[in-house]
Amino acid sequence: MGTVDELCSFVGVAHAQLLQSIKIQKQKQQKQQQKQQKQQQKGAAAAVVHKRTPTTIIDYGDLSDQLLDIMSRLFDVGSHVAKPPPDTNYEFQPNGIGDGFDPEHVDDLEEWINEMTEELPELTSFILPTGSIIAAQLHVARTVCRRAERKLVPLVVDHKICDPNSLQYLNRLSDFFFVASRWINYIEQQDEIEYRLELEYSENSEQRVPVYRSPLLLDDNDDDDDSDGGK
C-alpha cells in the first residue's frame, strides 16, 4: 500500500505543477494586457510601435480533472490492499472502496490514452524522460506505477486477496503517464530528446564516433566469446 500511496503523491505533485503552470501563464497574460493598456493611453501611435502578440494560455484539456480522478482511484486500490477479503473465494463486486474495483475506470484510461495519442506524432525511437517539468514528473509517476504493479501481482495472482481489475488499472495507468508526458511536451512545444548512441574513440580516428550499445542486443564479439566458452 505504501507504494500506491507514494504514486498518488507523485501524481499530486504533477497536478500541482500543472496548476502552477496555468497560473504563471495567466499572470504573464495579465501583465501584458496591462502594459498594452498603458501604451494605448499614451497614444495610438505608441501602441502600434510596441504592439506584441498576445500571450496565449496553453490548453491542457481535461488533464487536471483526469489526474484528480486517478488519485481517487489510487485510494480505491490502496483500500483493497489494506483491507483484503475474508477468504480467497471472495467474489469482488465493483462498488469502489472496500469492495471490488470498477472495470469502467480501466476503460476511462483507455479512452484518455487514445484521445492524446491521436494528436501525437508517431514514436519512432526510444525517448528520454525529459521535456517540461510536468512531463518529467509524469515519467516519475510512470516508473513508480510500474513498481506498484509488480508488488500487486502476487496479491492478485498468488494470494487472490486483491481485485484483478485494480492490477489491470495500474498496468494501463503506467501507459497513460507515458502518453500524457509526451502529450504535455507536444502541446508545450518541447522537443522529445531521443536515446543517443554512445560515443567512443574508433581505432582509425581520433574523433569520437557513435557506437550502438544496446543492452537488448549482443554484438558479434559477445556471441563468439559465448560460443568459445561453451566448447
- Write down the domain spans for the chain: 1-24+60-82+100-220
What average pLDDT score do residues 183-187 get? Answer: 95
Instruction: State residue 203's pLDDT score.
Output: 60
Find the range with the poorest average confidence among 20-24, 95-99, 182-186, 222-226.
Answer: 222-226
User: What pLDDT is attached to residue 44?
Assistant: 54
Q: What share of the chain is helix, strand, coil (3-state, %, to 5)?
A: 60, 5, 35
Least confident of 82-86, 159-163, 191-195: 82-86
Computed from CA positions of residues 26, 129, 152, 157, in that sequence, does the dihedral angle turn out positive or negative? Answer: positive
Task: Give the pLDDT of residue 221.
Answer: 45
Query: What residues form DSSP beta bridges with 92?
Result: none
pLDDT at 187 over 90: yes
* Nearest in space to 162 (alpha carbons), one of 8, 11, 4: 4
Instruction: Express as a percent the part of the chain with pLDDT over 90.
Output: 47
CATH of 1-24+60-82+100-220, one of 1.20.1200.10, 1.20.990.10, 1.10.268.10, 2.40.160.20: 1.20.1200.10
